[in-house]
Amino acid sequence: MRIDLHTHSTASDGTDTPAGLVAAAVDAGLDVVALTDHDSTAGWAEAAGALAQGAPVALVRGMEISCVADGISLHLLAYLHDDTYEPLVAELARARSSREGRARRIVEALGQDVPLTWDDVAAQARPGATLGRPHIADALVARGVVEDRAEAFRHYLHSGSRYHRGHYALDAVAAVELVRAAGGVPVLAHPFAAVRGRTVGDPVVEELADAGLAGLEAHHLDHDAAQTRRAIGLADRLGLLVTGSSDYHGTGKPNRLGELTTDRAVFEAIEAGARGVPVLRG
- Give the pLDDT band (50/70/90) at residue 228: very high
| pLDDT, tens digit, 9 for 90 and up, residues 8-55 | 999 999 999 999 999 999 999 999 999 999 999 999 999 999 998 888
DSSP-derived letter for residue 260 is S
- b/e per residue 261-276 (b: at least 16 CB within 10 A): bbeeebbeebbebbeb
Residue 130: pLDDT over 80: no
The lowest-confidence range among 74-78, 96-100, 110-114, 230-234 is 96-100
**Residue of 185, 257, 189, 256 whose CA lies nearest to 217:** 189
Q: For 197-218, what is each residue's pLDDT tens digit?
A: 899 999 999 999 999 999 999 9
Task: Report pTM.
Answer: 0.89
Provide the pLDDT for residue 97.
86
pLDDT tens digits for range 230-264:
999 999 999 999 999 999 999 978 899 999 999 99
Helices (H) and strands (E) in the chain, counts: 10, 9
